[in-house]
Amino acid sequence: MLKGARAPLVESTKGTNERKFIHVDMDSFFVSVELLDAPHLVGRPVAVGGTAAERGVISTANYLAREYGVRSGIATATAQRLCPDLVLLPTRFEVYEAVTRRLDAIFRRYTDKVEFLSLDEASLEVTGQSAFNGSATHMAMHIRAAIEQELGLTASAGVAPLKYLAKIASEVQKPNGLFVIVPKDVRGFLDELDVRKIPGVGPKTYAVLENLGCRQCKHVTEEKIPLLMRYLGVHGFYVWERCQGIEEQEERVTHIKSIGIERTLPFDCHDFSSCLQELDRLLEGLRERISEMGDDYLIIKNLVKLKFSDFSISSTEAASNTLSQETVTTLCRLLWDTRREGRSVRLIGLSVKVKRKIQDDIQLELPW
């Protein structure tokens, strides 16, 4: 078991030892599940996805196939050119979903705060749990052992005092590894982290950061905030926060609630322009719902959600005191560029978080 580099904490990570997160990411999940039913294919490059004749794409490839350059989201025809001996298997979502339900049962032995990002990836908050005297590291070790013993599969895990940092940590020792970032190591780990590892930093965002001289998180300083906001909008401030180890906790007050609208598309969406057209229609509908609320609430956040063709869901949010077309378009583009991975979009959701106006608390509690 490895730990992040040691370094003193700074103010932005103060108090992070109060929360504990485990991020579990299954290793080449779809393929690994298929190999349980086809053990004769172990040791061969295998992928799950649509056929080349149907202009299909690869959903998952095992690590042998990845050595040839086969990756999730690439065209099956391309994958077969890269790896002529590739064994292609059809997707069986009902089988994968059954395994995911068993995964969920394992996770809930330790906490009821389980959030699945997709069928093969979940975030667990284990703050205040009694198992193993509250040790998130030991919980992660036992979760991984249970997955291997009960399901015959392997998983990588990350442990950290921040949710997004636990996800990053889960990738460090992949496959079949565990990486722990203890609170006192957060600042040192982030300082040396490539900014491309920060959630939401795709090729376009990285191009801007690189032009600003920001290749590692330690380069994304407070002095850079005006330029980040200028070139990246509200997303630039989000990137700065994550580079500093700042992660806003979920609202704990009851006078904050969500109002949203979503639509399952009649046809899976493959291009961003069509996605934006649907987003514009949702904007109109949500504005009508907000207007019906009267003047008792203040908007504090905009949120966008996408459901993909494999039924996994990704969402993101940003602080805003209005329902802003510019903000939600930026959020949608962020999800499209960083989380879609070649999949089509089945559903688009749009919502705002609103806060009831209270006489003794009339200022917006914005994150900055």
Mean pLDDT for each consecutive 10-residue tract of the chain (368 residues)?
A: 33 55 95 96 93 82 95 90 95 89 94 87 93 94 97 97 96 95 95 93 91 96 90 86 82 63 86 90 89 78 88 82 86 85 89 68 32
Which residue type, as a one-letter code, is found at position 222? Answer: E
CB 324 within 8 A of CB 353: no
CB 164 within 8 A of CB 241: no
Residue 134 tokens read as: 């509250």
Helix (H) or strand (E) holding 324: none
Residues 6+ apart with CB under 8 A from 176: 27, 154, 155, 156
As beta bridge partners, residue 301 has 319, 353
Q: Is 222 a catalytic residue?
A: no
CB 286 within 8 A of CB 261: yes
Model pLDDT, residue 55: 77
Helix (H) or strand (E) holding 261: strand 256-269
Residue 351 tokens read as: 């919502």
Task: For domain 2-26+114-187, give its CATH number from 3.40.30.10, 3.10.129.10, 3.30.70.270, 3.30.429.10.
Answer: 3.30.70.270
Q: Where in the chain is the domain with CATH 1.10.150.20?
A: 193-243
Model pLDDT, residue 249: 60
Model pLDDT, residue 145: 97
Closest CA to 328 of 291, 368, 275, 250: 275
The neighbour count for residue 356, using CB atoms within 10 Å, is 14
Residue with tokens 């078991």: 1
Model pLDDT, residue 255: 59
The neighbour count for residue 189, using CB atoms within 10 Å, is 24
Domain 29-93 has CATH 3.40.1170.60: yes
The neighbour count for residue 270, using CB atoms within 10 Å, is 13
Model pLDDT, residue 17: 44
pTM: 0.67
Active-site residue identified among 34, 121, 125, 247:
121
Closest CA to 105 of 141, 143, 159: 143
How does pLDDT run across 66-80, given as a tens digit for each residue? 999 998 888 899 999
Superfamily of domain 256-356: DNA polymerase, Y-family, little finger domain (3.30.1490.100)
Q: Where in the chain is the domain with CATH 3.30.1490.100?
A: 256-356
Model pLDDT, residue 357: 58
CB 166 within 8 A of CB 158: yes
Model pLDDT, residue 151: 97
SS3 for 65? helix
Query: From the CA atom positions of the chain, what is the Rg in Å?
Result: 21
Cα distance between residue 47 and residue 119, in whole Å: 17
Helix (H) or strand (E) holding 120: none
As beta bridge partners, residue 319 has 301
Q: Where in the chain is the domain with CATH 3.30.70.270?
A: 2-26+114-187
Which residue type, as a one-letter code, is found at position 14? Answer: K
Q: Where in the chain is the domain with CATH 3.40.1170.60?
A: 29-93
Closest CA to 219 of 316, 201, 331: 201
Model pLDDT, residue 207: 93
Domain 193-243 has CATH 3.40.50.300: no
Residue 246 tokens read as: 């700042």
